[in-house]
Amino acid sequence: MACSSSCPSPDAAALNCKFGCPGVRVESGKGGLPKVCLCVDGSVAEVYLHGACITSWKPVGAATDLLFVRPDNDFKPPKPISGGIPHCFPQFGPGKIQQVVLWPTKLNTHITVQNTDSKPFEFSTALHSYFRAAISGVQVKGLQGCRFLTKDKVPLKGCERRDSITFTGFYDCLYFNAPNSLQLDNGLGTTIGIHNHGWTDAVLWSPMDQIASWREFVCVENAVLDPVSLCPCGTWSAEQILCLTDYPSQHVSSLRTSKSCSSLSC
């Protein structure tokens, strides 16, 4: 993936005139929707303003885009974009602020929820991340020992005993009190570290033949499954950091600021 050279729509052109700077350009994307193209030291990413959805990330050293966008998207609002890193946020009213930071081999995603009401409210949320993959070769590590609940017609619950989770059919499973770091082997020769602060749970999803392109992706999601109660004027923040596993871990932790890592404040 590279920053496109398509002529920007009037909206995108105006936004680019206002916000564009070296490494940041607003362009017209699919369906005429404005998107932000980020480029830094050979690493590239794209973020659609519709839903603040990250649709592409290719860090230095990656042979191909590491995110996956389903080909059945029509990019027509108000329908959300299916793929990349969309948000799951079922509450109405208070807003979300999404900040994306691109580094040569790393992608930081910060999400902040602010309660602007005069009374408390509860919410749950997730980053429904689609990773490009060959599903037959996918392995997810780091969830051993976590409590789980499947979303089958007859749900199963228990404690995950496997060191490495593979996908041989439909899989939709919630993992509670997940660790701050997971490891994804995408089956295409790339291993991705999925690090977080503030997210408490994880979700794994492979739809099998419910979606035609199921063999080409897997969803590994950071989530907060139990409702968070947010007081008036309070904020909640969480951070996700994606990186190639050969990138030094100290560079990941050093970029966590106290503001982005504060999970709840009133």
**Residue 48: inside a domain, yes or no?**
no
State the pLDDT at residue 97. Answer: 54
> If you search the block for the tokens 């299916």, which residue do you land on?
82
DSSP letter (8 states) at residue 6: P
Phi-psi region of 142 (alpha: psi -120 to 50; beta: other; left: phi over 0): left
Give how many domains the chain has, as a whole number: 1
| 264 phi and psi angles, rounded to 5 deg | -155, 130
Torsion of CA 29, 33, 36, 39, to 10 degrees: -10
**Residue 8: inside a domain, yes or no?**
no
State the pLDDT at residue 3. Answer: 47
**Residue 156: inside a domain, yes or no?**
yes
State the pLDDT at residue 2. Answer: 46
Q: What's the whole-model pTM score?
A: 0.85
State the pLDDT at residue 146. Answer: 98
> If you search the block for the tokens 């929820």, which residue do you land on?
113
**Residue 146: inside a domain, yes or no?**
yes
State the pLDDT at residue 183. Answer: 98
**Residue 184: inside a domain, yes or no?**
yes
**Residue 39: inside a domain, yes or no?**
no
| Gap between the Cα atoms of 228 and 231, Å rounded | 10
Residue 16, helix vs strand vs coil: helix
Which domain covers residue 197, as residue numbers?
A: 76-265
**Residue 3: inside a domain, yes or no?**
no
| Gap between the Cα atoms of 132 and 106, Å rounded | 16
**Residue 229: inside a domain, yes or no?**
yes
The CATH number covering residue 93 comes to 2.70.98.10
Query: Which residues of the chain fall below pLDDT 50?
Result: 1-5, 90-95, 247-262
Record the tokens describing residue 92, joined without a space: 């109405």
